Amino acid sequence: DMKEYRLYRTDGTRTLIGTITHPNTSYNFSTTVADNSSGTLTFVLTAVDTNNNQSSDSTPASYSYNLDTIPPTSPRNLSVQNQ
């Protein structure tokens, strides 16, 4: 019998994000990344039964992000013409 799912972040060090009790299929969480950074976060799930046997990883799911908060340079060399 199914007991839970375990959500791991796997881009870099494998980190347990949380445990989702079966039969729930959604889980809200947040993660921290550096300001002005960009990259890809990768996650996998495992299934755990009531005897604590853990499955192999699911297919990875990825999320790309870009936290670029630096504005572009100001426009230059503009002119106005009367037509």
**Contact predicate 21/1, CB 8 Å:** no
**Contact predicate 15/43, CB 8 Å:** no
Confidence band for 25, pLDDT divided at 50, 70 and 90: confident
CA-based torsion, 56, 28, 23, 17: positive or negative:
positive
At which residue do the structure tokens 């972040």 appear? 9
More confident call, 80 vs 56: 56
Confidence band for 70, pLDDT divided at 50, 70 and 90: confident
Q: Is the pLDDT of residue 34 over 90?
A: no
